[in-house]
Each structure stands twice: as structure tokens, then as C-alpha cells.
Amino acid sequence: MNTMNSGISAEAENQDEPRAASVAEHKPEDTVIEEGKTVGKPFSDDPKFKLRNVEVFYDQARAIKNISLDIGRNEVIAFIGPSGCGKSTFLRCLNRMNDSIDICRVKGSLALDDHDIYDPKRDVVELRARVGMVFQKPNPFPKSIYDNVAYGPRIHGLANRKSELDDIVENSLRKAGLWEEAKDRLDATATGMSGGQQQRLCIARAIAVSPEVILMDEPCSALDPIATARVEELIAEMSESYTIVIVTHSMQQAARVSHRTAYFHLGHLVEVNETNKVFTSPQHELTESYITGRFG
């Protein structure tokens, strides 16, 4: 796990690659991006997801442009890039959350454990149990803490007896680091919790159906620094059991929590590499421009 949290720009600027000279000569936005060409290490020896030539359209507008990427088993991968570059759109393909958007079309090959995610015969409810999601804003149901966590296991029939359900709720809350705070108020309404607690409850809710992957779309953007630190600790703990994909606007967060980082730009996947490499010696000038704050 990478623990760098400062000095990203300084380290990036200290490298003596010849590319540095060319950056000074023209604006980053003038850079021509070679479609479908991602520098670094976009592929993995043990992929959980194999994503090839993925394109996503909203009506005629192409939001994702010929992206190929593997996401490794039990890897934490961060998606970074300027606003509107397609991070969330690409993330939402991984459990077909885009299905609910009528104008959205997904092309290419997307496989989870070598099975086509977009197979028309695929059970999307089962897919989303395997590939859970935590959103930007904590969105607990207006129910009790217990019922929030028990909801998924109930609809998926994961517990035959009340005692089994109790165990799932307790284990999920423990894994989400919320048990001590919640155990004496399981019947209290979830919306009365703090924002950070609500977000950990949403993580517990995702964990309760035994997912293999957890997608996180800016999970800390509505949280204060202490609640953010708690969720980041959780990500580190959860990475032992799950594959985690996190979209973040915070480069420090990407550096702290992820093994690999993927840099998106205008719908292209420009660079993917081990996180410390992306932040200390980016190979693409657009990545370097972004992490040194030239735009974004």
C-alpha cells in the first residue's frame, strides 16, 4: 500500500526525463491523444475485470473512447482526471449502473471473471450483488441501522434464520468499522447518524451481500477529514478481501489508498501504472500536467 501523501508535484518535477522540456513549450491542452493508446501498465496477470475497446455514448456524444484495461483481483485501483473526463461513466459500466440511463450505450468487451457483463441473459441484480457500489453522497434507506444492512441479505435470501441475519449484520458493521458505534442503537433510524457514519453504513450495506468488488464513486467528497481518514483506513482493510475501484478528485487520496492509478482525459485512458510511479514519474505529459496542477 502506498502511503505518500505529500510532495507529489515536487517529486514529479524533479525527474530528469527529456519530456520535461517539451511540456514547457506548448500548452497541455494542445496535446494530441492517440486513441486507444494507454501508456504504462494497463493489463494485469490476474485480472478480475478484462475490459477491451470500451466505448460509451450518451446519444451521439462519445464519453468513453476505446479504453482497454484490466483490473486485478484484490487490487485497489484509483480513477483520476479532470472533471467530465469519464471516470464515473467508466466505473458505472462495471456493474451496469448505466443501464438506467436511456440515452447511454456501451460498446466493446467487458468481462468479470471472463464472463460478459453485458450478456443480455445476465442477471443484473446478481451482478450488482457481486459488484457493489458506494456513492458520493451517503444514501442510507430511511430505515433502522439494522434494516439498512439486513436489506440486501433479505432480498437475496442469504439468511434462513434471524440469528443468521443478526450475524451478517454484526459482521458487516464490524468490517465497516461501525459496530462499536452502532451496536446499542441498531433500531435507531440511519438518517440520524453523522455523514461519516452514514457512509460507513453504506459500506456495511454493500459488504452484507458478500460482494467480490466494491465500486466507490468519490466516497469521501461529502465527509470531513476525520471521517475521510476512517474510510481510507477501511479501504486498506477491505483490500484484503475485495477488489476496489475508487473514483477520486483527491490525488493525495489516490496516493494513500491505491495500488494502481488510472489517469483519464477527455474520455481517453491516458496512463495507468503503479500509483507511486504515476505520481513520481508519470510517462505521459498530460498525466504530469494534471498531477502538477497545470489543469484540472
Ligand X SMILES: Nc1ncnc2c1ncn2[C@@H]1O[C@H](COP(=O)(O)OP(=O)(O)OP(=O)(O)O)[C@@H](O)[C@H]1O
The residues binding ligand X (CB under 6 A) are 58, 63, 81, 83-89, 101, 103
Give all strands of the β-sheet with 76-80 in edge-to-edge order. 39-40, 268-274, 260-265, 76-80, 243-247, 213-217, 131-134
- CB closer to ligand X, 10 vs 103: 103
User: What does the alpha-carbon distance between residue 31 and residue 285 come to, in Å, rounded to a whole number?
Assistant: 8
CB of 19 to ligand X, least distance (A): 25
Nearest CB to ligand X, comparing residues 11 and 108: 108
d(CA 273, CA 282): 9
Pairing mode, if any, of strands 115-116 and 104-112?
antiparallel
**Do the Cβ atoms of 263 and 278 come closer than 8 Å?**
yes
Minimal distance, residue 265 CB to ligand X, in Å: 10
Between residues 6 and 83, which has the closer beta carbon with respect to ligand X?
Answer: 83
Query: Beta strand pairing status for 243-247 and 104-112?
Result: unpaired
- Closest approach of Cβ 217 to ligand X, in Å? 8
Nearer to ligand X, 58 or 141 (CB): 58
Question: Which residue number, 86 or 211, has a Cβ lying nearer to ligand X?
Answer: 86
Q: Residue 122 CB, nearest distance to ligand X (Å)?
A: 22
145 within 8 A of 204, measured Cβ to Cβ: no
- From the CB of 165, what's the least distance to ligand X, in Å? 36
User: Toward ligand X, which CB reaches closer, 58 or 151?
Assistant: 58
CB of 107 to ligand X, least distance (A): 15
CA dist list (Å): 203 to 110, 119, 190, 229, 235: 25, 27, 13, 15, 10
List % helix, strand, coil for the chain (3-state, nearest 5): 40, 25, 40
Q: By three-state DSSP, how is residue 198 classified?
A: helix
